[in-house]
A = this chain, B = another copy of it.
Amino acid sequence: MTKMSDVAKLAKVSTATVSRVLQKPDTVKEETKKKVLEAIKKLDYQPNILARNFRRLETKTILVVMPNILNNVFSEIVVGIDYEATKNGYQVILGNTMLEEQRAHGFMNHLKQKQVDGMILLTARVDIDDLVKVANEYPLVLVSDYLEESDLVTTVAINNMKDSYTITEHLINLGHKKIAHISGPLDMSICRDRLSGYQDALMDHDIHIQYDYLTKGDYSFQSGYDNTLNLLALQNPPTAIFAASDIMAMGAIKAVKSKGLQVPHDIAVVGFDDVEFSKIFEPALTTMAQPFFDMGKTAMQLLKQKIVGEQVQNQFIELKSELKTRESCGFNLK
């Protein structure tokens, strides 16, 4: 491994000068610089980044913790983070917890140990006290998911309650009154909010909330499928189903079809997220499109501010979703 002193020797300068050529080339005389650069080239010198990181106490790396790499919702956010990070000279590394809360805390240690300059969490399913503590001491941003007390940690997310209200209202406007909901895991604020938005919309339109229409899924295709089967078996089954994620909506549609019924003809289904696949699926999903790319990008911008030390107030940044009307919920029933 050739090191800086080798370069210095060959170029007949000091290591300080080599370092300067690398860091602040403008402060070095043209001629000297040339000598040094030649030596670097000749020796194929690569600076030892480990030593540099150690010395500088920074890594130019940020860690993104995602709960499930196989869920494209998260991958799409990562693309936005990656875009903004690369633009600013940061490297992105991904931590995948596979839904194990403990692993998320392992990753937080990396932040504490300065193995990375900052961290973006795509899940709030962690020990909250620890999270808040870490977020106050180190650069950390939460995206998509959030805490009940949303101003404890800087957060970028959509307004799940409002968006959920909107999509439910869309079904109501289409003439539906018997609308069921398949929620995500209710230990997530984000899922509770989607549930609330749904309930609020019904109430505001004087529609009675029927409790056997409220089912609990876990974001998986299978849970969308199973819950729908149960809903269809009800004495008075719903005419519309609002699933809290596209994947569950797809499961719901599969279940409807399995009973020989048609979507949207016999029953309308809407999802939430607008992952890539929702357009391809048949029928194409009517869903609430989250601004994934922007969420990632915005989160990285805030994180960078924190890293470079601008005193950023903890804040909750709300981004706008967009209702995508496609085939799965059909047209006016009235």
Which residues of A are in contact with B by a Cβ distance under 8 Å?
1, 46-51, 53-54, 57, 59, 69-70, 72, 75-76, 78-79, 82, 91-96, 98, 109-110, 112-115, 221, 250, 254, 257, 276-277, 280-282
Please give, as numbers and ranges, the residues of chain B lying within 8 Å of A51 by CB-CB distance.
Answer: 54
Q: Does A280 contact B76, Cβ atoms closer than 8 Å?
A: no
Q: Does B72 contact A79, Cβ atoms closer than 8 Å?
A: no
Cα distance, A70 to B83, chains bound together (Å)? 14
Set B54, B59, B96: member contacting A78, Cβ < 8 A:
B96
Given A49-B114, A93-B93, verify A79-B69 contact (CB < 8 Å). yes
Cα distance, A173 to B253, chains bound together (Å)? 34
Q: Does B282 contact A282, Cβ atoms closer than 8 Å?
A: yes
Q: Does A113 contact B49, Cβ atoms closer than 8 Å?
A: yes
Set B75, B110, B114, B254: member contacting A48, Cβ < 8 A:
B114
Set B50, B69, B82: member contacting A53, Cβ < 8 A:
B50
A-B contact pairs, 7 of them (CB 8 A): A48-B113, A49-B113, A50-B113, A69-B82, A70-B75, A75-B75, A92-B94
Cα distance, A54 to B53, chains bound together (Å)? 8
Residue of B nearest to A94 (CB): B94
Cα distance, A47 to B114, chains bound together (Å)? 10
Q: Does B49 contact A115, Cβ atoms closer than 8 Å?
A: yes
Cα distance, A332 to B280, chains bound together (Å)? 28
Q: Does B78 contact A69, Cβ atoms closer than 8 Å?
A: yes
Shortest Cβ gap from A84 to chain B (Å): 13
Shortest Cβ gap from A136 to chain B (Å): 15
Please give, as numbers and ranges, the residues of chain B lying within 8 Å of A95 by CB-CB distance.
Answer: 91
Cα distance, A126 to B1, chains bound together (Å)? 24
Q: Does A221 contact B46, Cβ atoms closer than 8 Å?
A: no
Please give, as numbers and ranges, the residues of chain B lying within 8 Å of A82 by CB-CB distance.
Answer: 69, 96, 98
Q: Does A114 contact B70, Cβ atoms closer than 8 Å?
A: no
Q: Does A76 contact B70, Cβ atoms closer than 8 Å?
A: yes
Given A70-B72, A96-B78, verify A50-B115 contact (CB < 8 Å). yes
3 smallest A-B Cβ distances: which pairs? Answer: A93-B93, A94-B94, A54-B54
Q: Does B46 contact A109, Cβ atoms closer than 8 Å?
A: yes
Shortest Cβ gap from A113 to chain B (Å): 5
Q: Does A75 contact B79, Cβ atoms closer than 8 Å?
A: no
Residue of B nearest to A96 (CB): B82
Q: Does A50 contact B46, Cβ atoms closer than 8 Å?
A: no
Shortest Cβ gap from A288 to chain B (Å): 20
Q: Does A250 contact B280, Cβ atoms closer than 8 Å?
A: yes
